[in-house]
Amino acid sequence: MFSINWLPTLETPAAYVVLLTAALLLMVRDWRILLGALLVQYGAVAVLWGGQTSYTQGFAALTVGLFIGLMLYVTIRQTQAGQWPQANTPPSSQGWLLIWASQVVLAWLLATWLAPSAEALPVTLAFIALALFGGWRFFTAAHPLLLGLGGLMLTTAAGLFWADGTAVTPLLLLTITQLIITLTVSYLAASHRLKC
């Protein structure tokens, strides 16, 4: 049986990568960087899931993340040709920096406060960062693709919350939910383009 004994040692760096990519998914408007950050985020989440459950579930999470990235890439290329719609009043760079910094500090404080042990701190930090940044993106997005990114981050956060090593069913249901979200976002983005 193939074993990855060093995977749990990567949980702390993976949690910080999740935090950084969640912040990038909130702040950046270039679709190439967004898709790259999303794929890196799914890789880091796969490391976290692999450390919490088994490496096969981590590999499955990575595979689903690659499919989601591919579906979003095709959707963006067909509907937008790489152009995100600009908000009517985009926040200043200082505003984004303030939002980002406050959410990073809040995620760190909540993770240190809510983590049941020092070993659970990386997964707790990744869960809270995904929930905060995903919720912010989900509730402030004006476009279906950006709304979908928020929904994907929220469901990934829920998956990290339920990744306890014993239950496979919640992770399977969340993976199916993420694929449904991606297909729904693709449909809404195409219909949004037809209306414009």
| Sequence-ordered list of residues with C-beta below 8 angstroms from that of 89, at least 6 positions apart, any chain | none
User: Is the model's pLDDT at 149 over the cut of 80?
Assistant: yes
* DSSP-assigned states of every residue in 25-57: HHH---HHHHHHHHHHHHHHHHHHHHHHS-HHH
Q: Tell me, what's the pLDDT at 142?
A: 79
**Among candidates 45, 62, 51, 41, which has minimal Cα distance to 9?**
51
Average pLDDT score, the chain: 79
The stretches of the chain forming alpha helices (DSSP H) are: 11-27, 31-52, 55-79, 93-114, 121-140, 144-162, 169-195
Its pTM stands at 0.79
At 72-131, the pLDDT tens digits run: 998 888 886 555 555 444 555 666 677 767 777 777 777 777 767 777 778 888 888 888
Least confident residue range of 142-146, 147-151, 179-183: 142-146
Q: Tell me, what's the pLDDT at 194?
A: 59
- Position 28 confidence tier, pLDDT thresholds 50, 70, 90: confident
User: Is the model's pLDDT at 175 over the cut of 90?
Assistant: no
Q: Tell me, what's the pLDDT at 1?
A: 44
Domain positions in the chain: 7-195
Q: Count other C-beta atoms under 10 Å from residue 118's C-beta.
A: 8
